[in-house]
């Protein structure tokens, strides 16, 4: 077997994106037959090869998709024995999907839906803190936390510790220090990311939110504030992108876990 393919397979196993059984079956498969795989599901072309290439399966963006389309995707992913994560799922759609997939976990605040592989025990590794400036930022924070859970990373939310009451953050610093990565979710002027960055020795993934009054411009002010952070360990994702913030933090945490192992 080519060393590059073996490295990709080993990476998928180490990140938790595939089981040991998946690793063995793929390793035994002839190299010539391992081509990028897709599933044509009518209006959807599902990427079945992403777990091998990237360590984790495709994540489904639920907004704009019908329940029928989402159910079709989830059923095919269940057949492939991969963990399912659907983001931006409305309450109405979430309830319908849970009725179709009783084992699914719907997070009403984060608007996410997770479906684990039947019989598979997912042990949590690494440690990430998801920190919010206010309670209004919780929907984005919950999306990040659910993403981390789907990735098999241990994550806790530390809510409502914004800079307007700095003593609140000071009281929770011991819970934040020692993490592999920190996701900071904040709107308004989004100063919290810089403050947290000045207290920890790990990457800080800043997620600006669209929370704020008129001059916040739907999160643009928060985005620019975070991009201009003077804390060297702060990096920024898109407005309200809880999934992206959680995913990047999860990759960092799992990489740290592999290094310690």
Domains and CATH numbers, the chain: 3-115 (no CATH), 125-260 (3.40.50.1970)
Q: Determine the pLDDT at residue 193.
A: 96
- CA 11, 16, 20, 23 torsion: positive or negative? negative
Q: State mean pLDDT over 211-222.
A: 94
Give percent of the chain above pLDDT 90: 68
Structure tokens at 229: 């952070």
pLDDT reading at 200 higher than 80: yes
pTM above 0.85, yes or no: no
Is-contact 23 15, C-beta < 8 A? no
Nearest to 84 by CA among 62, 108, 59, 103: 59
The predicted-structure confidence for 22-34, as pLDDT tens digits, reads as follows 666 666 655 544 5
């Amino acid at each position: 077997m080519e060393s590059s393919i073996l490295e990709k397979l080993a990476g998928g196993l180490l990140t938790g994106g595939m089981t040991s059984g998946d690793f063995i079956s793929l390793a035994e498969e002839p190299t010539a037959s391992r081509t990028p795989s897709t599933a044509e599901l009518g209006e959807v072309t599902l990427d079945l090869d992403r777990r091998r290439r990237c360590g984790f399966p495709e994540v489904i963006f639920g907004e704009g998709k019908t329940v029928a389309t989402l159910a079709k995707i989830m059923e095919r992913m269940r057949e492939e024995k991969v963990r399912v994560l659907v983001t931006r799922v409305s309450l109405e759609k979430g309830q319908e999907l849970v009725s179709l997939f009783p084992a699914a976990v719907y997070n009403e605040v984060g608007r996410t839906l997770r479906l684990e592989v039947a019989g598979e025990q997912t042990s949590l590794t690494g440690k990430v803190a998801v920190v919010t400036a206010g309670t209004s930022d919780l929907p984005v924070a919950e999306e990040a936390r659910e993403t981390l859970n789907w990735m098999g990373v241990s994550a806790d939310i530390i809510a409502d510790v914004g800079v307007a009451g700095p003593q609140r953050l000071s009281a929770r610093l011991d819970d934040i220090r020692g993490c592999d990565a920190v996701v900071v979710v904040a709107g308004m002027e989004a100063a919290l990311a810089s403050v947290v960055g000045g207290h920890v020795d790990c990457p800080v993934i800043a997620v600006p939110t669209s929370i704020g009054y008129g001059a916040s411009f739907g999160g643009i002010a928060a985005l620019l504030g975070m991009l201009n952070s003077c804390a060297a360990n702060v990096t920024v994702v898109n407005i309200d992108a809880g999934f992206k913030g959680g995913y990047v933090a999860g990759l960092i945490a799992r990489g740290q876990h592999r290094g310690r192992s």
